[in-house]
Chain A
């Protein structure tokens, strides 16, 4: 039987990827960030996952406004790295797990979560940056990855409670998969940030601390946050944190906090990293 062995919440700021790709991760601006994320890499390496279900959002690369799926699941064997306007990131291609992905599609839809199915799609920094942060600079990603893309670009994104329930359904589907696989779930994006308007640069450390604590001890409380509360208190793009709740839903009731790291700024954003283990 497949089982979920860990959950990772991780910001996906493109500048983090650029720092690694351009070799500036050792400069004074970035040193504290990469030093702070090292223990998560060590933790994940020890966990030895076979597959990751990576919940993220695309940023006008694989998808545009032409069609906007709320939830989209990638069933391909390979996902090329997207060219986001300055060439693809120099990271390994992402290998999927089509059998588990199709199992998820089938089970989630029959469990009333109507997934859009992607047989081909490129993946952008929303997916590759959390991989880089938690796996480092590698020639080959150490596990297969199933991309699960959530719309947070066109308002309204799915609610926090809906994402949390999706996570619970992912857990049920994973546990129903006959092969013995160790699965980790990523929830990416956040934390507080605003990229637009006169309020650009908004960061709310108090909100982020509350959210990190809630992720560990009281996710039900977090599912009650309204979209307007996210946008007002964590910045218009802080609403991405609904994707963290999808990961949290997949971990079950009680969790152990294996690692936490919080850092401001990474470009315009407050970055958070949280490693959880189901108990």
Chain B
């Protein structure tokens, strides 16, 4: 392997993205969460819980680099670099285009769908000066005040619809 040029890594961002894209196609796995059948034969019974993204083996496999990008924000220098130019900073990590877009758009729910783990993605929110409750509200599309009121009144109480997709008109299996 050739040493890096003194000025640092000189590949254009487009080139890097193209390489990542190619790698993703080659591996056939990185761009989106594949069907369960591709990886594990049996469907998981927890997939039946509405509005819940269990950070399991499958999401761990797909989301590793996304979450490790989030982990890097524990370092104040990295937070500064991320804030200075988010897209460039994200190029340090082999993310899929979908993962990158979800971060840039602060699509908190979208991040979970492309392998984000809430304990990691929340670090982006802290970097933005948001609280856990702000993000929780955004993930369930509730205005902050309304979400706060719901919590004060005892939280989101169990209902047949939120306990199982089988009972939910919108989230049929």
Contact = CB atoms under 8 A, between A and B. Distances in A.
Contacts of B19: none
Given A195-B118, A199-B156, A265-B151, A85 B52 contact: no
B82 interface: no
B37 interface: no
Contacts of B139: 196-198, 200
Contact of B49 (A85, A193, A232): A232
Interface string A198-229: 11111111110000000000000000000110
Contacts of B112: 196-197
Contacts of B158: 202, 204, 206-207, 233
A279 interface: no
B33 interface: no
A153 B55 contact: yes
Interface size classification for chain A: 35 or more
How large, as a class, is the contact surface on chain B? 35 or more
A155 B67 contact: no
Contact of A199 (B133, B152, B162): B162
Given A155-B56, A202-B162, A228 B49 contact: yes
Contacts of A1: none
A231 B52 contact: yes
Contact of A154 (B55, B74, B123, B133): B55
Nearest to A234: B158
Given A156-B56, A200-B139, A264-B155, A195 B71 contact: no
Nearest to A85: B126
Given A202-B158, A265-B151, A196 B56 contact: no
B109 to A, nearest CB: 7
Interface string A243-262: 00000000000000000000
Interface string B138-166: 01110000010011101111100011100
Given A84-B74, A153-B117, 6 more contacts: A65-B64, A198-B139, A207-B158, A233-B163, A236-B54, A267-B151
Interface of A: 14-15, 59-61, 64-66, 83-86, 153-156, 192-207, 227-228, 231-233, 236, 264-265, 267-268, 270
